[in-house]
Amino acid sequence: MKKIMIDNAAALGGSITVAEVNSLRDAAVKASQVLEDGTGAGNDFLGWLHLPGAVSESELASLESTAARLREDCEYVIAIGIGGSYLGAKAVIDALSDTFAAYKSNGGTKVLFAGNNIGEDYTAELADLVKGHRFGIIVISKSGTTTEPAIAFRLFKNMLEQQEGKDFASKHIVAITDAKRGALRSLATQEGYDTYVIPDNVGGRFSVLTPVGLLPIAVAGFNIRELVAGAVDIEQGDNELMYTYAQTRNALYSAGKKIEILVNFCPKLHNLAEWWKQLYGESEGKDSKGIFPASVDFTTDLHSMGQWIQDGERTIFETVLSVGEPAATVVIPHDEADLDGLNYIAGKRVDQVNKMAELGTRLAHVDGGVPNMVITIPALTERYIGQLLYFFEKACGISGYMLGVNPFNQPGVEAYKKNMFALLGKPGYEEATRAINERLS
């Protein structure tokens, strides 16, 4: 079985040396051992570590059968969730989907997303789209109390009940939440929804290979067995890929490269980068430390951010996601008049041009003081995407421990919520409401 690969050669020789990266090997091995032994900070959230190999046949079969029922009965399925309860499914579905599936009538059930923002127009426009069409809902919240998905769920649940009746609604709403706790668990029990559990020891950003990611991905028509098998490829292999990535990025960080840009040359990977940003941002950005995870879509953003990356402050490095082989073949035609001057590339595939743009950009950025690593994904298939997801998860655990933080908590995400609840006058926040109003007066 082919695997994703990593090459850090273009990260070496400038800001960091081979010896510096190699000197971090012991720390990387130790971090991995701490993960395996469960002796590090956040060790009650290590359920993801050997999750792929433990996904059972009965769980996969149940997810596939629920997905088949939703696909059979619904034109649209709205996946409601935010953060780790949204980004994994969105990333995988976008990476594997026809970019224009939404505009094509034969694409089967369409998975749409809600509860990942509080945009009123977004919500209204989505409601307008599904009005009069059969739709189902997958509501995902580990805590079962997150405001954004709770608002969206209240709205779309009401709409579905009014449109199709309570019986259809209760059979076509699936809740994915904690086994026992939270408002969503109580509601699901009361309404008799089908449910799946987010294990206690798996944090949101590490949950893509649980029903959180697997159910929406299956509803979108993708092979979740292959996705999980890809993750198992890496889980059961050695740690070389993870060590290389974790050692190189920590060496670069120590050398003043504070920002890592995840680069793709394939627009289908835009949301993979969004998932990666949550994974690394929430895991490492704490205790006044942590690489800032950013992302760009090339060549699109070469025409906007390209200038900054080539010439701006030298605090960045890049990790390039390079897709080996596209699924389609498009050849640039010969043109007799050649008024656009493109005949020199006539007969070449579009991807050959893209690959030269990729190589040319990497070389230019190294020359401009931007080191880079390349992660090669042989093709955009479930198997390789599964490998990539688990690779990033494990490398994140190793890298976070090397940095000296607890990669599995996210204390910083509460601050805005406290202010928002105070401003909205949520019961229990009376003192905070008084204080914030005084601050604003």
User: Which positions touch ligand PA5 (CB under 6 A)?
Assistant: 82-85, 141-143, 146, 149, 203-205, 282, 410
Residue 172 annotated in active site: no
211-219 helix and 224-235 helix, angle to the nearest 10 degrees: 140
Smallest distance, Å, CB 189 to ligand PA5? Answer: 18
Q: Which is closer to ligand PA5, CB of 84 or CB of 211? A: 84
- Are 377 and 234 contacting, i.e. CB atoms less than 8 angstroms apart? no
Q: Which is closer to ligand PA5, CB of 361 or CB of 410? A: 410
Give the Cβ contact number of residue 71 at 10 Å: 18
Residue 303 annotated in active site: yes
CA torsion angle 359 360 362 368 (round to 10): 160
Cβ burial, residue 175 (10 Å; 0-12/13-18/19+): buried
Cβ burial, residue 215 (10 Å; 0-12/13-18/19+): buried
**Pick the catalytic residue: 120, 303, 414, 431?**
303
Smallest distance, Å, CB 248 to ligand PA5? Answer: 25
Q: Which is closer to ligand PA5, CB of 184 or CB of 380? A: 184
Residue type, 311: D
Residue 365 annotated in active site: no
**Pick the catalytic residue: 104, 133, 417, 418?**
417
Smallest distance, Å, CB 222 to ligand PA5? Answer: 21
**Pick the catalytic residue: 274, 282, 318, 393?**
282
Q: Which is closer to ligand PA5, CB of 143 or CB of 354? A: 143
Smallest distance, Å, CB 114 to ligand PA5? Answer: 13
Q: Which is closer to ligand PA5, CB of 111 or CB of 212? A: 212
Question: What secondary structure, in 3-state letters, does 73-118 show?
Answer: HCCEEEEECCHHHCHHHHHHHHHHCCCCHHHCCCCCCEEEEECCCC
Q: Which is closer to ligand PA5, CB of 204 or CB of 371? A: 204
5-7 and 372-377 as β-strands: parallel, antiparallel, unpaired?
antiparallel
Residue type, 305: M
Q: Residue 318: which H helix or E strand, with range?
A: strand 316-323
Smallest distance, Å, CB 212 to ligand PA5? Answer: 8
**245 to each of 102, 192, 261, how far by Cα in Å?**
36, 45, 14
- Are 259 and 280 contacting, i.e. CB atoms less than 8 angstroms apart? no
Which two structure tokens, joined as six digits, stand for 408?
Answer: 């599995």
Q: Which is closer to ligand PA5, CB of 193 or CB of 317? A: 193
Q: What are residue 233's phi and psi, to 5 degrees?
A: -50, -45
Q: Which is closer to ligand PA5, CB of 141 or CB of 387? A: 141
Smallest distance, Å, CB 112 to ligand PA5? Answer: 18
Smallest distance, Å, CB 43 to ligand PA5? Answer: 16
Which two structure tokens, joined as six digits, stand for 87?
Answer: 């980004």
What secondary structure does DSSP assign to 106-151, as a single string? TS-SEEEEESS---HHHHHHHHHHHTTS-EEEEEEESSS--HHHHH
Give the Cβ contact number of residue 431 at 10 Å: 9
Q: Which residues of 107-140 are buried (b: 16+ CB within 10 A; e: fewer)?
A: eebbbbbbbbeeeeeebeebeeebeeebbbbbbb
Smallest distance, Å, CB 400 to ligand PA5? Answer: 13
Place of tokens 């996969």: 60
Q: Which residues are catalytic?
A: 282, 303, 417
